[in-house]
Chains A and B, each alone.
Chain A
Amino acid sequence: DAGVTQSPTHLIKTRGQQVTLRCSPKSGHDTVSWYQQALGQGPQFIFQYYEEEERQRGNFPDRFSGHQFPNYSSELNVNALLLGDSALYLCASSLLRDREGTEAFFGQGTRLTVV
């Protein structure tokens, strides 16, 4: 059983460009959450998708957008990249309907560097 998979693992982009990160959730999971983790910091919640809709959103600008597909996989898009967007982007999958004790499983992350 594959866990959460993310692609690509590493990415270098130029300031002002756009980037798309991808995530496939753990088999059986229906909810995908995206996090940004700067070096030495805890993850910061970007947004969560369930049933192909954005269910919750953290304090991130509209440059950050996402999508969830019918097979529950998800994409994170970031437009007009800034140097400060350089971070590890983590995708976590879980079961929304099993809220209590729901353990979030993380992918290995995508290391984005903006130059």
Chain B
Amino acid sequence: GQNIDQPTEMTATEGAIVQINCTYQTSGFNGLFWYQQHAGEAPTFLSYNVLDGLEEKGRFSSFLSRSKGYSYLLLKELQMKDSASYLCAVLDSNYQLIWGAGTKLIIKP
């Protein structure tokens, strides 16, 4: 079966750095997405990785290792507005998005 694992919840301090991990086992791989979802709202796109390595975009970076079936999202200089759920999703061989359950990130002052 297809499976994506993320921690259920993480807590971090405003101004700090946090790393959210994602491991996956899917039938094929055509890229990995990270989405941010605030409570009661739709997911919004953060990043896309299809090759190994680190992609940096402002305060957010995403890393991929295809051989290990592993990705992480790195958030720097945390702000209170970063409190949200972060969803990892893999595009499988049928170009269907397979989603993790999401990691709820709580930012404390």
A residues with a Cβ closer than 8 A to B are 4, 33, 35, 40-45, 48, 56, 58, 90, 96, 99-109, 111
Contacts and interface: CB of A to CB of B under 8 A. Distances in A.
Contacts of A58: 96
B30 A100 contact: yes
Contact of A42 (B30, B48, B99): B99
Interface of B: 4, 30-31, 33, 40-45, 48, 50, 87, 89, 91, 94-102
B31 A43 contact: no
Contacts of A40: 101-102
Contacts of A96: 95
Contacts of A56: 94, 96
Contacts of B89: 42
Contacts of A99: 30, 95
